[in-house]
Structure 1
Amino acid sequence: MKKGFLKKTPIALAITATLASAQIFAQSAQSDTQEGEMELVEVTGSHIKRAAMDGPSPVASLTAEDIANTGVTDLIGLFARLPISGQGTFSTQANSSDDTANGGSSVSLRGLGADSTLILVNGRRVSVSPFAKNIDTAFVDINNIPLAAIKRVDILKDGASATYGSDAIAGVINVILRDDFDGLEISGKIGGTSAGGGEESNISMVWGNTTDNSSHTFIVDYFNREELLYADRRYSRTANQAAARPNDPFATDFRSSSGIPGTIALASDPTNRLPDTFGNDVCAAEDIDTANNLCRYDYAPHMTMVPSTERLSYNYLGTYTLSDNLEAFVELSGQNAKTTVKGAGSPSFNELFMAGDNPNHPFAGDPTHPFFGQDLTMRRRTVDIGNRQKEVDSDYFRSVLGLEGELGGWNWEAAYSYIKSDAVERGVDGFPNSRRIQEAIDSGLWNPFEPSTNTAEALAYIETTTTRVGKSTTRSYDAQISGPVLAMPSGDMMLALGVEHRRDSISDNPDDQFVRGDIFGTEATQANGSRDNTALFAELAAPLGDNFEMQLAVRHEDYSDFGTTTDPKLSFLWSPLDSLSLRGSWGTAFRAPSLSQLGLGRTDESPNLVDTIRCDAVGNVNKACEPQEYTAVFEGNPDLGPEESESYNLGVIVNLSDSFTASLDYYHYEIENIIDSDTQFVFSNFGDDPNVVVRLPSSDPNDPGEVVTINDSFQNLGDLNTSGLDLDLRYNLDSNLGSFTLSYVMNYVLDYEDLRPDVDGGLRVNLTEGDYEQPEWRWTGAVDWSRGDLGARLAVNYIDSFAQDASVQQPGMSDIDSMTTVDTTVNYFGFEKITVTLGVTNLFDEEPPFDYSDFMGFTPTVHSGQGRFAYLSSTYQF
């Protein structure tokens, strides 16, 4: 189906599709109020306990059954399928030896960033990962929460800083843990991909006991996933996409310019170079780039698409009745996770040198060669000490101790929380120490141009192991009270008051080798910081009529490192008819700069950039006009201020009958003072400033020289505006053939405008809807069926097409195509106390659409390279 037609009729087509689709999650729209007394519960998005789950804010809930029916094996697999998830959602896919958050995953609602989506567990914050994503993005690692421990997941789809404080710009994800199980349950699951790699196994045990004055729920979960290599997939097994797609004029050779044995160049002029075809060890003929005089290297087959992971976790939730009006509660969670990430051998780009009189000089016996007696530099990959391998060992611990009760018709709660995340990242293979490798070249111990002659002693001398240690902690005290303050004709006006004090700290420290710059060919971070935060908040809910409710919330925050902020929120729910409700909200929100952004030490990154300065000067010399890796040096900025936003939401909820419900919400966000870096902008506009971009000397007066490093930092720069539509539909049908549930969930981006600084001091449009990684339309539809002892589900997931990366876009180049996948499950309940499930995700083994901008041939931030995945699971309850 053509994108143009879809763009013109998204709502009409969405409504039509309800007859052949079903929603992933349960509709959070208005439900019938049951007669009689109901237990008061705290709904995500409000501190006021209420009898009904519905309210003015758009909240969607996914039950444990909903999650199981999707066939996913972890939370990130679930969120990656939700239409509301956007750019910035990341899993362990595309983890590499250069990644700064290996093993971690998080979600970005509406594409506003993982650090603008607040993750809660049972309504309370958890500590961020000690290792930031992309060196600065603070995120809560949702891999710490096993599916077996989840009762439901609530998604608040509007800004909520007035309720929860920082990071709730895009919305809130609240994971509610199982706490009311009685008995024993054992579950197991195995699965694998049809194309190989990524096999998974999972086993969990849930034990619960409930008495008149206490309840206990204990959960143990083990999860194991084998690695998936880029070599395991046809479209990503080589970085030379030009050779893999010989009939595609736009396909690019992404092989590294650092090869084996490499490229020899003059130290005085690195642009004067030759591929190493001299002596016994030579560059393979297929790796010689004659156009650029380079020995290239295909790194793709040696890299993990998805690393191997092993997780063991436990959860305990307990309540104890101390008196008629007083109850104590305890929450304890922990996990150990081990992740192994593989990458190609470390590359060097003119960091190493060989003197003209070195005994291993490749032209020592050829006085006629122009390089004879000349000092040399080189582009070389240290494959001789092995490919790189990192092992990440992380521990997570969460504890909450609290009391709750009732006093004079008011409900109150107070708790202390302590959450800690520790991680150790070790480089165990393939990492050279640049200082020792240079010493070994100078002494003649190690010959970079004849690797087959190097001894085990020489290789042991140049190889090292690396260590990076991280720790993140959150300590908090919170107390709140809520109850009626005024009797009104339509019900009580309710008030909630609360206070919270939190201390966050983070440390991310690589070993001295990284600090001294002795490790080349990989990225490292260093960040340390802490902050205190005190918050006061209030919320008022007033029934202004039999069918109209108004809520007002406000929160005041005082941060030790950047000051104070106050954020209000106003929302309403109006139900003029039993079958029709209107809701809306307006509020401001903020995101405090992360401790990594404030306290980052000197950190090396390897972004893909285009050297526009050199390209304009000398053309596509050494692919200066094409994106390739450069070394960017970052440091934190202690003067950063918070991001600030304003958002509103307007929605309609329709209940035409007990069988059909629908909701349509319009959202709009305006975010100012975005905290980010724009290294390409710095590179392009200040690339000729030696204080910003350090370059090697060149003999050509027109050539500015090859880049050594680019200096950059984080700033409050630019704005971001976005708006769109959320559509949820559900239809239940009972027939002689069984019970059917048809439903549809859609997110359609009407506008997305990312504004960044321009050379004239104004703002330029950096990204808009439909640009790279910005699909305008995502939807999921499915049909659930049950009859007797059988149940089945068929779901269709759609991601819209979007433009190629602007850095590679050329006239005639196609967009990145849309992707449609089908998931299915079949459940059998005919065995006593046993449920058996057979399922397949990506049933038709749909390959991700081709992306011209990177070596793997697809967009890992948007599409999955897993392919068809089949699984068998079973649950037994005692």
Structure 2
Amino acid sequence: TADSPSPLSIINHEEMDAIGAVEIKDVVANMTYQSGNISSSNVYSGGDSSSGNTNVNLRNLGLGSTLILVNGKRTIADNNDNSGNGYVDLSQLVPGIALERVEVVKDGASALYGSDAIAGVVNFITRDNFEGAEIQIDYTQDDETGDQTDTLISGIFGIASDRGSVMISASHLDREPLQYIDRLDDFGNSGLSTLGQPGRYIPLGAMTPNPNPLNPAGSSTFGGGPDLDCNYGIDGSGQGTLGDIAGFCLYDFSSFFPLVAQQEQQKLFGTADYEVSDNIKIYGEFGFSFNEYQRQNSLFPDVTFAIIPTHHFGLINDANRRGVQPVPYLALQRMLGGNIYSSLADRPVDTNTTTKRDSFRYQLGTEIDLAFGNGSWSMDASVTQSRTRANSRTRSDTVKSKTDLAYVGLGGPGCDPVNETRGSGNLGTG
């Protein structure tokens, strides 16, 4: 900690090397005054657009309460969390190889910087005066399974003279995913649902004295996922490995999701300065980044909780088969089934979420020293422009309009939903 009116911590380049920090997220994760566990968002902590991003939360005052500077100049908030708090995505700023040091003001600095600095200030200083060339290749691997790997290739080049300097840096990250299913013993069964496929259909009328939910086959067993009778990995208690709630097999959707998501990122950053005279210096910097993030999803549950009406021909046929009057049913299900190991035939739809984000930033400025009598003034004026674009796409496994028609018996081939004419399949003849 350096001498300062406010508590100031400085992490220099040598200290970053000592802790094995190759990205900004590695530096942030090792800050003891960093709060929370979302400095590097994964699928559950970053279910919003923050997935794959890096942020800082000093003293747990919120993501938008820490001011982020690059070489002493502000950067704009380019993302929002689930609560609507704007924050700077640190992963887009500069390649890790270009960092000279990180200065952290660990106390509120709103009197000097404004409301953005309620929790403190983090200033990333780059290696502007670097001379020569340096290339770095970092490869990391998941210790337990060996399936998850990170490959980071970084480079920096710089030249300097008595009057100016130029520095350019770049990096490319290729991150392979690690699924929950790969660490099932450690993290399995962490996301359980009773909405499976085939689903459960709850009668809403007094069809029998004590009606049970029935699966579409009409048997007395009921469950979720491909394990209809909870026989998968059955144990001595007679229940499947996923157990049961009120007699229902559970659907483990967590196995579809990643502990570490697939990610590809490129970053480019550069600075330049030149002394026009002894009193005037001009400077500039630019940065560009592209980030593509892939998140695997389970097949989606139908949370409309649709009511299947009594005039649905499927209910009429089922009631006639069992000699009872049809009653409405509440549908609790996923429209498609399968699990993480299912073949394409069992899981015909890709439900992954793909997020692409690119950022561009440039800055131009000048420093002027002015002499007045026995004193002097220094002026620093600059203009900065930043732009961030993001596109997130999630593929659905269901067309809602056709699903709604199916719930009222008008979803099959040959149906005319306008005139409510049912197809032959609903009549049991085709």
Residue 868 of structure 1 is matched in structure 2 by none
Aligned CA distance change for structure 1 residues 59 and 68 (closer, same or farther; 3 Å): same
Residue 400 of structure 2 is matched in structure 1 by 434
Code of the aligned partner of 1:56? P
Three-state SS of the structure 2 residue aligned to 1:361 is helix
Code of the aligned partner of 1:238? G
Aligned CA distance change for structure 1 residues 97 and 258 (closer, same or farther; 3 Å): farther
Q: Mapping of 1:31-430 within 5 angstroms?
A: 54-87=3-36, 89-95=38-44, 98-130=47-79, 132-145=80-93, 146-196=95-145, 197-239=147-189, 254-266=191-203, 274=213, 276=215, 278-279=217-218, 283=223, 284-286=228-230, 291-292=245-246, 294-361=248-315, 364=318, 366-368=320-322, 372-384=325-337, 386=349, 388-408=351-371, 409-428=376-395, 430=396
Aligned CA distance change for structure 1 residues 154 and 444 (closer, same or farther; 3 Å): same
Code of the aligned partner of 1:312? Q
Question: How far off is 1:289 after superposition?
Answer: 7.1
8 Å Cα contact 1:95/1:306 also seen in 2:
no
Residue 469 of structure 1 is matched in structure 2 by none
Question: How far off is 1:336 after superposition?
Answer: 0.4
Code of the aligned partner of 1:313? K
| TM-score of the pair, normalised by structure 2 | 0.80
Distance in 2, matches of 1:436 and 1:277, equals 19
Code of the aligned partner of 2:161? T
Q: Mapping of 1:703-852 within 5 angstroms?
A: none
Distance in 2, matches of 1:105 and 1:311, equals 13
Question: How far off is 1:237 after superposition?
Answer: 4.2
Question: How far off is 1:144 after superposition?
Answer: 0.8
Code of the aligned partner of 1:265? I
Distance in 1, matches of 2:301 and 2:16, equals 43
Q: Deviations over 1:518-541 (max 9, x none)?
A: xxxxxxxxxxxxxxxxxxxxxxxx
8 Å Cα contact 1:340/1:390 also seen in 2:
yes
Aligned CA distance change for structure 1 residues 60 and 96 (closer, same or farther; 3 Å): closer
Q: Deviations over 1:83-135 (max 9, x none)?
A: 111126431234489434222221211122212122211122222234x2224
8 Å Cα contact 1:405/1:412 also seen in 2:
yes
Distance in 2, matches of 1:184 and 1:291, equals 62
Q: Deviations over 1:555-596 (max 9, x none)?
A: xxxxxxxxxxxxxxxxxxxxxxxxxxxxxxxxxxxxxxxxxx
Residue 576 of structure 1 is matched in structure 2 by none
Q: Deviations over 1:544-565 (max 9, x none)?
A: xxxxxxxxxxxxxxxxxxxxxx
8 Å Cα contact 1:331/1:400 also seen in 2:
yes
8 Å Cα contact 2:42/2:51 also seen in 1:
no
Q: Deviations over 1:133-171 (max 9, x none)?
A: 224232111111321121111110100111211221111
Aligned CA distance change for structure 1 residues 313 and 97 (closer, same or farther; 3 Å): closer
Distance in 2, matches of 1:236 and 1:79, equals 26
Code of the aligned partner of 1:258? L
Question: How far off is 1:423 after superposition?
Answer: 0.5
| TM-score of the pair, normalised by structure 1 | 0.41
Unmatched runs of 5 consecutive residues or more in structure 2: 231-239, 338-347, 414-430
Aligned CA distance change for structure 1 residues 342 and 290 (closer, same or farther; 3 Å): closer
Q: Mapping of 1:547-566 within 5 angstroms?
A: none
Higher strand share: 1
8 Å Cα contact 1:89/1:111 also seen in 2:
no
Three-state SS of the structure 2 residue aligned to 1:185 is strand
Code of the aligned partner of 2:384? S
Three-state SS of the structure 1 residue aligned to 2:25 is helix
Q: Percent identity?
A: 26
Q: Deviations over 1:339-381 (max 9, x none)?
A: 00112111123533323232333962545476x5222221112
Q: Deviations over 1:668-690 (max 9, x none)?
A: xxxxxxxxxxxxxxxxxxxxxxx
Code of the aligned partner of 1:435? S
Distance in 1, matches of 2:361 and 2:116, equals 20
- Count how many residue pairs are aligned between Structure 1 and Structure 2: 378
Distance in 1, matches of 2:14 and 2:214, equals 59
Question: How far off is 1:316 after superposition?
Answer: 1.0
- RMSD value, Cα: 2.8
8 Å Cα contact 1:96/1:341 also seen in 2:
no
Unmatched runs of 5 consecutive residues or more in structure 1: 1-27, 30-53, 241-253, 447-878
Code of the aligned partner of 1:138? G
Three-state SS of the structure 1 residue aligned to 2:18 is helix
Three-state SS of the structure 2 residue aligned to 1:423 is strand
Q: Mapping of 1:562-581 within 5 angstroms?
A: none
Question: How far off is 1:323 after superposition?
Answer: 1.6
Distance in 2, matches of 1:301 and 1:163, equals 48
8 Å Cα contact 1:358/1:444 also seen in 2:
no
Code of the aligned partner of 1:263? R
8 Å Cα contact 1:119/1:173 also seen in 2:
yes
Code of the aligned partner of 2:84? D
Distance in 2, matches of 1:203 and 1:309, equals 14
Distance in 1, matches of 2:335 and 2:45, equals 17
Code of the aligned partner of 1:445? G
